[in-house]
Amino acid sequence: MRLTRFACAAVMTAGLPVLAMAVDGDKVLGDFQGEGINGTVEMVETASGIVVVDVRAEGLSEGQHGFHVHEVGACDSADGFKSAKGHLARGLEHGVMSAGGPHPGDMPNLHVRSDGVADAEFFVRGFTLGTEGNQRILDEDGSAVIIHSGADDYGTQPSGDSGERVACAVLETGG
């Protein structure tokens, strides 16, 4: 039985009321590492099975950046984050444009404006934070989230022609 509830709180910021929404459920968290890049990613699985992804990162170049869950929970900048291995694929093809796709770990491009900040929240149906099933990301060797240098074209194999890996976050279970 998965514990899920929604909690909302009105927060006063600079005199403006801001509705801060916290989603409770199975959760994983990660801190990005990368040259001059800082940020966090949080994923919460809701009662519907949809995962809410909340990502914020700074120090990125302007433009679109491929954003995926990769197979192994290891981020080593010395090897260009190759230690995270390929996409969490589970026998599927990469990209929403592929008939045999997408990979469970495929997510939308992050859009970054001139201030170098990516700040996004979106829903994912492709993977689960549970420990069973073919679409689980919390398997024996963990998983990592990678931000790429360029845009994912959502079709080219195996990673959407999205370029080098510029940031990496190992996913860890959180409270």
**What residues line the site for Cu ion (CB under 5 A)?**
68, 146, 159
How far is Cα 114 from Cα 157, in angstroms, rounded to an integer? 29
Q: Which is nearer to Cu ion, 56 or 85 (CB)?
A: 85
Q: How far is the CB of 50 from Cu ion (least distance, A)?
A: 21
Q: Give the CA diameter of the chain.
A: 51
> Is 28 or 146 the residue whose CB approaches Cu ion more closely?
146
What lies within 8 Å, CB to CB, of 15 at 6+ separation is none
Q: 145 by DSSP, 3-state: which?
A: strand
* Residue 48: Cβ within 10 Å count: 10
How near is the Cβ of 161 to Cu ion at its closest, in Å?
11
Q: For Cu ion, which is the closer residue by CB, 25 or 102? A: 102
CB of 26 to Cu ion, least distance (A): 23
Q: Report in angstroms how near the CB of residue 173 gets to Cu ion at its nearest.
A: 22
**Would you say 23 or 64 has its CB closer to Cu ion?**
64
- Smallest Cα–Cα separation from 120: which of 12, 175, 5, 41? 41
Nearer Cβ to Cu ion (68/154): 68
Shortest Cβ 87–Cu ion spacing (Å):
6
For residue 44, give the 3-state DSSP assignment.
strand
Is residue 3 within 8 Å of 27, Cβ to Cβ? no
The beta-strand segments (E) located in 14-164 are 16-24, 26-31, 38-45, 51-58, 63-70, 106-112, 118-124, 144-148
